[in-house]
Amino acid sequence: MLSLAVAAVALIALFIGCNTYLRYQGWAARKMEPDALAQVLLPDMRVRMPDGPGPFPTILLFSGCDGPKDNMNRWADAFNAAGWGAIIVDSHTPRGYGDAQLWRLICAGQMLTGGERAGDVAVAIDIARARPEVDSEHIVLLGASHGGWSILDMLSLHASGRRPYNLIRWPESIERSEFAGVAGMILLYPYCGTGSQVARHGWRADIPALFLLVEGDTIADEEPCADVARGMAREGRDVSVLTLQGTTHGFDQAEKDPLSLLEFSPEATQQAETAVREFLGRIGAS
C-alpha cells in the first residue's frame, strides 16, 4: 500500500510539473485574435472617470492572482480624486476563475501565467487608446503581484520579438505604434522569478517604472525584481524602487481569504500612495 501511495504522489507531482512547464512555455494557452479577447474582457471592465469632459490621463489596473479586490477600488478612488481616470481590467470573471476558488490554481502557476495574461494587458491598452475619455498620450499601467508579472512579461515578450501566449497577433495599435503614450508602469510586489520573462529578457520600451516591493516578501521574493530593476537601470531605463519594511505581500488589500497570513497595512498603503503620486507627477501623467 505504501508503494502505491508513493507512486500516486509521484504521478501527481509529475502532472503538476508537466502542466507548469507547458503553462510557462505558453503551449497550453488558448490563442485568440485581439478583437475576440477584447470582447471577452470588455463586459467586466470597470471604467471610472472623474467628473468633467476629459480626456483624462488614465491608469489601467491589473489585480493579483485572486482577482480584483478592494485594493483595486481603493486605487481607482484615489486616482479619480486626483483627476485621473481608472480602468480596472478583470481577467478572472470573464473566464469563470472567480468561482470555486479556481484562482488558487492561478496563484500556484497552474493556470493563466503572466505570459498568458500579458495578452489582456496588450488588449486593454488597445481598448483604452480608442476611448474618447482617455488621454491616449498619458496611459499608465498598474499591476499588483500577478498583474505586475503580466505587465512585465508583456513588455519582455515584445522586446524579444514574441507575442503574449494568448494572442495570435498583437493588437493593431501596438503593431502600429508599439507603446507610444504609455507614460509609466507601477508594479506592486510583482513576481520576477525564474518563471517570468522579464527575469531573462528585461524590456526595451522606454517606459518609466516604479517598483513597490516588500522586504522579506514570502509570496513573491523581492530580490529578483530588485535585480531586474538594477539591470534595467544600468541599461539606461528610468526605474525607481521603494522597498517597504514591516509589512507583507498584498499590504494594500484588506479583502483576503480567511486563512491568509497576509495583512492589510494602512501605513504601508499610505506610503505606496505617496510614492505613486510623486511618480505620476514626475513622469507628467497628472
Q: What is the pLDDT of residues 138-173, one digit of tens each?
A: 999 999 999 999 999 999 999 999 999 999 999 999
What is the model's pLDDT at position 168?
97
DSSP secondary structure string for all residues of 246-281: S--TTTT-----TT------HHHHHHHHHHHHHHHH
> What is the rounded distance in angstroms from the CA atom of residue 35 to the CA atom of residue 281?
33
Does the pTM surpass 0.95? The reply is no
Q: Which residues contact 67 (CB under 8 A, 6 or more apart)?
A: 90, 91, 92, 93, 97, 98, 103
> What is the rounded distance in angstroms from the CA atom of residue 273 to the CA atom of residue 245?
15
User: Which residues of the chain are modeled with pLDDT < 50?
Assistant: 2, 4-24, 27
204 HSE (CA, 13 A, CB side) = 10
